[in-house]
Structure 1
Amino acid sequence: MQRPRASLGRVIDDLGATLLDLAHGDPDRAGDIGGVVIHDPLDHPVLPPHALVLGIGVDAPDEVAALLRTLGRQRAVALVLRAPVPLTDEVRAAADKAGVAVLGLSRGAPWSHLSEMLRSLLAVGDVRVDQAESLGGLPSGDLFAVANAIASLLDAPITIEDRNSRILAFSGRQDEADAQRVETILGRQVPERLSRVLHDRGVFRELLRSDRPVFTGPIPDGSGSQTLPRVAVAVRAGDEVLGSIWAAVPGRLSAEREDALCESAKLVALHLLRVRAGADVQRRVRADLVSSALEGGAGAAEALERLGLANRTLLVLGVALDERRDELDSATVVQDRQRLADAFAMHVSAIHPRSAAAAIGAVTYGLLPGSGDKAESRAVRTLQDFLDRVGDRLPAIAAVGPVAVDLSDVAHSRSCVDRVLRVLREGSAHRRIGRLDELQGEALILELRDLAAARGDEPAGALARLIDYDRRHHGNLVETLRAWLDAFGDVVAAAESVFVHQNTFRYRLRRVAEVGECDLSDPDQRFAVMLQLRVLRI
């Protein structure tokens, strides 16, 4: 079965921050994109269903409106125009009637960048998650291959850096440079003293302002010698600077090599965008597959097949941040969740190469092959080892579901994991790992609380009378009853827990029976009031 290639919403999610803006329309209304077509005003090709059309050179409002009407008849998904998009009333009306979304390509962003990125993104859904692609004849996202290719063009060692001067990739022949370059490679970061000199010389400022290479002369390294000169060029996608390319050179580049460096920057931009989008797409595809498998619906069998877990006995594991830490802000929580998910995925893949893990909401679930009487115990040890490894850096809780033999068992096991994680997060159990067979009672109490809250239940009967008495007389009969029930009727232990004499406690207990009009020797009445105390959170 052929998988959907990509939806318009996904394309906007992946490229929207850099290349594309949704100018008008609903990206979720359209189906999967069937292909990318360049509009040619001198030709009228038959478009594939749900085509994404690149309207190169179309900018007049009447031309845009006419093209939208044509695309609507051919069931196109969207039209991409160069920003700013001429959104007149006529254009909006034509887009709404045609059911075609209108996107704007950022100023300065080449149409070739967009075409290449769309080709890469649309190929993701048709291939396995790990299948490699090619951009400019080089493996997609392989920045080290790109760096080596540029080094061959310039005959100089190359580094590719992000906007914060962190090394993303580097070429060979770095030993031909200088000690500062070697230190940069080893530390994966431009040294602060070198960065400060470049800043003082205005190199970074010039990089941000110019699309041509920037040359800077030798820099003293503090040991009596100097670095080689550097030439750098910014890597751009539209108006956004993604990073830069740096070459250690003996002198200024020739005009031909400067042009080659500028062209190389365009290729690096494609690869950087692909790395950014590809990581998100890969993560999202795997999360979709894991989610489908855990839901146990019509797509569960196919999802497990694509994950390589079909016809296997599975264990469902779950980890989540212990978010009782009130000092965390939302941004930190999101970042920590992703770090936890990545660490857990690496951990379970080391345990079993056919395992799968993905973050779904606040929980990262793992599907781990396993069978036998000791399977759950082994899974608990796996989780304990993981929690020990992350330690206090990412305080987390974890749960193991029962062994899943078939598809329906997988969904049930996921439900058990969710219930256990909630007990660990909200309940009184002071532990970090659990299974439902150990914590079912606590899980039922939490679910009864949900039911009582949804119904708006309030204390009634004996408990309501005791609460009313305590409120009017500043008494402590509810506290006395709770302590006695928690101590299983042991007056000595109960009195110690509320710091009163045993005789005082016995007197209060008699008042509980009198005021509450209840018989504490009746097990049904005891259970009823105990359940109210637990569920209604008095």
Structure 2
Amino acid sequence: MGKDSNSFVHIDSLEELVDTISDLLGCPVTVEDVNFRLLAYSSHEKVTDAGRIATIINRQVPEIIINGLWRDGVIQQLKNSDNPIRVSPIDEAGFGSRIAIAVRNGNDLLGHIWVIGSGHADEEWQTQLLKEAAEAVGIKLLQLRSRRKNEHEGYHRFFQQILSGEINTQERIKERALQVKVSLPPEFSVIVFESPEEISESMYRQIAYLANTSKSVQVIMSSNEGQRLIFLVNPDARKGTPNKNCSSFISSAISQMTEKLGASGFIGGCGCVYSNYRKIQTSYQEALTVIGIKRKLPEETKGIFHYPQLGFLRFIPAILEKNADEAYQNQALQKIGEYDQQGNSNLLKTLEIYLKHDNIKETASALHIHINTLNYRLKRIEEIGEIDLMDPMQKLILYFDLKTEKFLT
């Protein structure tokens, strides 16, 4: 092809390989992993731009550039093509024109090679050089992945041990964190995302990237557990209140999963913020409680992500267990339900909406009925259920038992 790219095979380090590619092309080159973390960059500095400088300084492609690449369809092209592609400038990010090529191992995307400048990507020799470079870089990234896998196994085992309570003393947790090179923050919370289907490793890496670039929290550890993603985060209080930071992170992450990755149906929840590492398991269980309740009561918990926001709803699992032990049923609701079945009416739904709004006018509007019709229904509900809807305690019990029954359906 007119250039000696066979030397790629004999190059030992990724850094030397990138310099060789840069020398052959006469342009600066960077290599990033699939999450746009900088792995290596050439020392060739004839041409550069603000985007490259920011990437090198931060060891990570800036979010504004990644958003632009998503917007322009570049990331989608890289996922689906083995050939070099031309990348237009992203002016607002100081990102000039580039040629990019995906680095793969079979169908597994490992990373990308980026070449600054327009170059001559249509020339056969350069296209072939970039393909051979991508193959050589792929070998290096597989070796790097193998090393990191060994490190990750120890890290993942440690995360599982503290989530399960297997390691449950402050000193032991600190000791193991040092061994696996995890820097534990002064304060933390556990955040869990749950998907309606199993989360692939590729999807996990993309979501982990979104999490790692968040401005709301700092991700300390993460894990993919089938249909769940678990994050130990530092909800940095310098940027706002910890609780708001966690909720903001969850809301933003779910939006980005849907918009950027096409992953819909995620539910997110987080536990309380603690400073004692023994409470990691507690925060994790609290996050799972949030998700379990949000799954059963989506409307009531639409804006709830943080465990304390659940209020009395957080007691539902414990009450369900006690109700089962005592074979308890709310007799008023049982009578009204039986009446609905016999007369094909909908008094239970009317009661639920009324208890939610606790206001005649708002309830009638929500049900799209006249106030007189609502008043008649409420009178029948009181008669059939033998209840007094003027009694706040009775209304509270009815509302709570209605929500509890939803967990049994």
What is the TM-score of this pair, normalised by structure 1? 0.45
Alignment of 1:134-173 (within 5 A): 138-139=12-13, 142=14, 144-146=15-17
Deviation at 1:315, TM superposition (A): 1.7
Deviation at 1:365, TM superposition (A): 0.7
Task: Give the structure with higher Rg (CA).
Answer: 1
Pick the aligned partner of 1:532 from 368, 380, 401: 401
In the alignment of these two chains, the number of paired residues is 316
Does residue 1:345 correspond to 2:212, yes or no? yes
Q: 2: CA distance between counterparts of 1:330 and 1:170?
A: 36
Map of 2:90 onto structure 1: none
Instruction: Tell me the secondary structure at the aligned position of residue 368 of structure 2.
Output: coil
Alignment of 1:473-512 (within 5 A): 473-488=343-358, 490-512=359-381
Q: CA 1:473–1:424 in structure 2 vs 1: closer, same or farther (change >3 Å)? A: closer
Question: Alpha carbon RMSD of aligned pairs, Å?
Answer: 5.2
Map of 1:358 onto structure 2: 222
Deviation at 1:473, TM superposition (A): 1.6
Q: 2: CA distance between counterparts of 1:182 and 1:471?
A: 64
% same residue: 17
Q: CA 1:344–1:483 in structure 2 vs 1: closer, same or farther (change >3 Å)? A: closer
Q: 2: CA distance between counterparts of 1:496 and 1:182?
A: 56
Q: 1: CA distance between counterparts of 2:84 and 2:375?
A: 81
Q: 2: CA distance between counterparts of 1:148 and 1:363?
A: 38
Map of 2:6 onto structure 1: none
Does residue 1:435 correspond to 2:306, yes or no? yes
Letter in 2 for 1:309: S
Q: CA 1:365–1:169 in structure 2 vs 1: closer, same or farther (change >3 Å)? A: closer
Map of 2:193 onto structure 1: 320
Q: 2: CA distance between counterparts of 1:287 and 1:186?
A: 37
Alignment of 1:411-490 (within 5 A): 411-424=281-294, 426=296, 427-429=298-300, 431=302, 434-445=305-316, 447=317, 451=321, 459-488=329-358, 490=359
Q: Output one character per residue of 1:453-478: Cα deviation in whole Å (capped at 9) or x when no partner.
A: 97796855222222112211212332
Q: Which structure: greater helix fraction?
A: 2
Q: 2: CA distance between counterparts of 1:497 and 1:181?
A: 57
Alignment of 1:248-263 (within 5 A): none
Q: 1: CA distance between counterparts of 2:268 and 2:10?
A: 44
Q: CA 1:222–1:380 in structure 2 vs 1: closer, same or farther (change >3 Å)? A: closer
Q: Output one character per residue of 1:505-538: Cα deviation in whole Å (capped at 9) or x when no partner.
A: 3333332233223444555544433332111128
Letter in 2 for 1:404: Y
Q: CA 1:410–1:462 in structure 2 vs 1: closer, same or farther (change >3 Å)? A: same
Q: Which has the higher contact order (CA 8 A, sep 6+)?
A: 2
Deviation at 1:442, TM superposition (A): 3.2
Deviation at 1:297, TM superposition (A): 3.6
Instruction: Tell me the secondary structure at the aligned position of residue 231 of structure 2.
Output: strand
Does residue 1:368 correspond to 2:234, yes or no? yes
Q: CA 1:512–1:340 in structure 2 vs 1: closer, same or farther (change >3 Å)? A: same
Q: Output one character per residue of 1:459-510: Cα deviation in whole Å (capped at 9) or x when no partner.
A: 552222221122112123323332332332x444433333333333333333
Q: 1: CA distance between counterparts of 2:405 and 2:150?
A: 45
Pick the aligned partner of 1:275 from 139, 144, 159: 144
Tell whether the 8 Å contact from 1:319 to 1:365 is kept in structure 2 after alignment: yes
Letter in 2 for 1:498: L
Can you give the 5+ residue segments of structure 2 that lack an aligned partner in the other structure?
1-8, 32-38, 47-82, 88-96, 103-119
Deviation at 1:403, TM superposition (A): 3.2
